[in-house]
A and B are shown apart, each in its own frame.
Chain A
Amino acid sequence: MAQPPVEDIAVSRDWASARLFSAIVNSSDDAIVGESLDGMITSWNPAAAGMYGYAAAEIVGRPAIVLCAPCGEGEGRENLARIGRGEHVPHYETYRRRKDGTDFPASVTVSPIRDEAGRLIGASSITRDVTEQAQARAAAEVLQRADDLRRANGSLESFTYSVSHDLRAPLRAMSGFSAALLEDYGGVLGEDGQRYAQRIVAASEHMAALIDNLLRLSRLSRTEMHLDSVDLGAEAAQIAAELQEADPGRHVRFTIQRPVPVQADRALMRMVMHNLLGNAWKFTSGRDDALIEFGTTPAGDAPVCYYVRDNGAGFDPAYTHKLFSPFQRLHPASEFPGDGIGLAIVRLIVERHGGRVWAEGAVGAGATFYFTLDEEST
């Protein structure tokens, strides 16, 4: 007599007793569910009751599709179509829905059921709850991603290192040998030649400064943040005092709101305040009635918005978008010195705190820089 195909669950006297078979089904940890060819549930084992939360009495006779999570509804019909063609559906992963409406990841196998004459009468699906495996897999993925990130940071670190080391060496040679030319062959070079050599010296130093600033930015974006209670008003007051002390000849009036408590990284926020107030100080240098203000204001979507306002040189609003990019300068270095990195640092730090920064201003009418921090940190 021919063996029934192994994947078919054929209930036959010759093969096994119905009682033994039923015992196996009932003691299985996997949900074993019978369906008719039109997709109605015909049998329901105890594991299915435990897994889905329906007792056999309330689910038998209902459409099997209620067990599918919405994302897998199409699969029930497709499985039945394959079963109708006599095919076996090897195990695949999907989502199933419990009685209480929650979904769980499941591994499912569907096989045809035939009667003694070999006619197709339905399908049997074996479902295993793979929540734990899915969680383990997700955890492994998180670890893997953390590992990738660490590796990427590591290679960034060595990139940083070689930028710092390898790019400075040729600059030193350009600057050094130009200086040697000037010293030893200044007479031969003549006035123009000397000026050219001086330009090489100046350009090398400028590039060295650019590299250093690039490195600073890259380091800043990777330093670990330590959130702490910080009073931005107190920080502002201290920086104002430092600015005044470093340049006692200037008369600047500061209006600083206090206290302005935030949850933030102290060192990084000090850098933000230092850059914004330092800019305000610098760009009001042409005024006898310089006024610099720090405070908070409600603004749009954020609960609190911090601002630094000055009545200095301002900027052309047409170039607002360039303000926060590294090495962008809206004023000639001869008028207001700077390396074009300060506001890029501000943006980087504010964004790392989950906030954003923007500016308003007009030429000759001062500037206001606004920033927000993550809602949770205010």
Chain B
Amino acid sequence: MTSRPILLVEDNPDDVALTLRALKKNNILNPINVASDGAEALTFLFDGDDTQTREPGLILLDLKLPKVDGLEVLRRIRADERTSLIPIVILTSSKLEEDILSGYRNGANGYVRKPVNFAEFAEAIKTVGLFWLLLNEPVPE
């Protein structure tokens, strides 16, 4: 049950490494797919023949991404029936009100500002991961 994969959409390799480290530190051992820009995330979600098997249990989405930005990725995921119900938590450096608002307006389930301090960052990742992958009842198949 805990094997549903996480899709991490993040262009900064340092942040990717730190997020992976935080997940591992907190014993969140779900498979993790990393997309390093918005276009890659969309290709991953929509262009495989095996969309069904690739459907992540949680998407961690950065907002400021090369090519297709995070909000656009969010809109496209929400607009497609196959992915419209996947939990998406925005994980970003920005705490601009506009970003938070448009995140929610476009259907994000949560918005977390990445703390600079790693202990706090790891704690945030742990809380988000445990809630969405373990505690929260997923959408029935």
B94–A161 CB distance below 8 A: yes
**CA A224 to CA B115, docked complex, whole Å:** 29
Q: A168-B116, A180-B21, A201-B117 given as contacts; is B15 within 8 A of A173 (CB)?
A: yes
**CA A284 to CA B21, docked complex, whole Å:** 45
Within 8 Å CB of A217, what residues of B? Answer: none
| Minimum distance in angstroms from A50 CB to a CB of chain B | 56
| Minimum distance in angstroms from A366 CB to a CB of chain B | 36
A179–B118 CB distance below 8 A: yes
Which A residues, 149 to 163, have Cβ-Cβ distances below 8 Å to chain B?
160-161
Cβ of A296 < 8 Å from any Cβ of B? no
Interface string of B61-73 (1 = CB under 8 A from A): 0001000000000
Which B residues, 18 to 41, have Cβ-Cβ distances below 8 Å to chain A?
18, 21
For the complex, would chain A's binding face be called helix, strand, loop or mixed by DSSP majority? helix
**CA A172 to CA B115, docked complex, whole Å:** 7
Interface string of A190-219 (1 = CB under 8 A from B): 000000000001001100100000000000
Cβ of B81 < 8 Å from any Cβ of A? no
Q: A204-B116, A205-B117, A208-B116 given as contacts; is B96 within 8 A of A169 (CB)?
A: no
Cβ of B82 < 8 Å from any Cβ of A? no
**CA A171 to CA B121, docked complex, whole Å:** 12
**CA A179 to CA B122, docked complex, whole Å:** 11
Chain A interface: which size bin?
20 to 34
Which B residues, 101 to 141, have Cβ-Cβ distances below 8 Å to chain A?
114-119, 121
Within 8 Å CB of B17, what residues of A? Answer: 176
Q: A164-B95, A164-B96 given as contacts; is B118 within 8 A of A169 (CB)?
A: no
A205–B116 CB distance below 8 A: yes
Q: A172-B14, A175-B118 are in contact. List 12 more A-B contacts (CB 8 A).
A: A160-B96, A161-B96, A164-B95, A169-B12, A169-B15, A170-B14, A172-B15, A172-B18, A172-B115, A173-B15, A176-B118, A180-B21
The 7 A-B residue pairs with the shortest CB-CB distance, nearest first, are A173-B14, A208-B116, A179-B118, A176-B118, A176-B18, A168-B93, A165-B93
**Would you mind naming 17 contact pairs between A and B with Cβ atoms under 8 Å apart?**
A165-B64, A168-B114, A169-B14, A169-B15, A169-B93, A170-B14, A172-B18, A172-B115, A172-B116, A173-B12, A173-B14, A175-B118, A176-B21, A176-B121, A179-B119, A201-B118, A204-B117
Q: B residues touching A (Cβ–Cβ < 8 Å)? A: 12, 14-15, 17-18, 21, 64, 92-96, 114-119, 121
Q: A residues touching B (Cβ–Cβ < 8 Å)? A: 160-161, 164-166, 168-173, 175-180, 201, 204-205, 208
